[in-house]
Amino acid sequence: MSIKKKIVIIGPAYPLRGGLASLNQRLAEVMQADGYEVVIYTFSLQYPNFLFPGKTQYSEDDPPRNLNIKVKINSVNPFNWVKVGKEIQRYKPDAIICRFWLPFMGPCFGTILRYAKKNNHTKIVGFVDNIIPHEKRPGDYIFAKYFVGACDSFLVMSKAVQKQLRTFTSDKPIVFVEHPVYDNYGEAVSQETSLKRLNLSEDFQYMLFFGFIRDYKGLDLLLW
């Protein structure tokens, strides 16, 4: 009987909401279906309020039943980083997949990963959404560099990010894959069906409201 490979995913997951959390959870589900033992480490505190412009960071959905999610990481508490890193070190996963999208997370993730890999077994994959942020802040480069230094290899979903990441490391492997299509929101339905489900009239023209969308997201290009 073969022993399951152990994978730790570090990044947003339930009870947090958003695209990062959704993708991390789907990744965990797919890897579990492929026979891996998967644990997700997510945040007890992800952002201080001044860094989060939305109403809430938390999901109103029911928790996923088939995932092992540990709500343990405090992004601004160095003592917590050491504790979590040592816990993962003892768990001795074969690999850690760590999402990185904001340099603010560099000190937290970089410290956790350095402690985790002291078991001389675990390999670190940096799953990088952005390495150079769209909205720059002091310390961005130093924080991102600290994270990069803890990783053995990288996964990116943008060739632009791949090119930017190469300026941080000259020799570590960087693999590009296209962003998958989300498959966890149900099947696509027609406009007619949507209107019926929402109890809206078909004899009316509706304007969509997209909410708070940052300039760099490209909403203007979508609507053009």
pLDDT digits (tens, 9 = 90+) for 111-162: 999 999 999 999 999 999 999 887 788 899 999 999 999 999 999 999 999 9
Residues sharing a CB contact under 8 Å with residue 180, sequence separation 6 or more, in sequence order: 23, 26
Q: To the nearest 5 percent, what fractions of the chain are helix, strand and coil?
A: 35, 20, 45
Which residue's structure tokens are 């999208």? 101
User: Does residue 183 belong to any structural domain of this protein?
Assistant: no
Please check the confidence at residue 175 and state whether its pLDDT lies above 60: yes
Higher pLDDT, 204 or 80: 80
* The model's pTM: 0.85
Query: How many structural domains comprise the chain?
Result: 2
**Residues 23 and 66 both lie in one domain:** yes
Distance, in Å, from the CA atom of 107 to the CA atom of 147, rounded to the nearest integer, reads 7
User: Does residue 64 belong to any structural domain of this protein?
Assistant: yes
**Residues 118 and 218 both lie in one domain:** no
Q: Is 217 left (phi over 0), alpha (psi -120 to 50) or beta?
A: alpha
pLDDT digits (tens, 9 = 90+) for 87-111: 999 999 999 999 999 999 999 999 9
Closest-CA residue to 135 (of 60, 63, 51): 51
**Residues 166 and 97 both lie in one domain:** yes
pLDDT digits (tens, 9 = 90+) for 33-77: 999 999 999 999 988 776 665 566 776 777 888 999 999 999 999
Q: What tokens does 42 get?
A: 């997510």
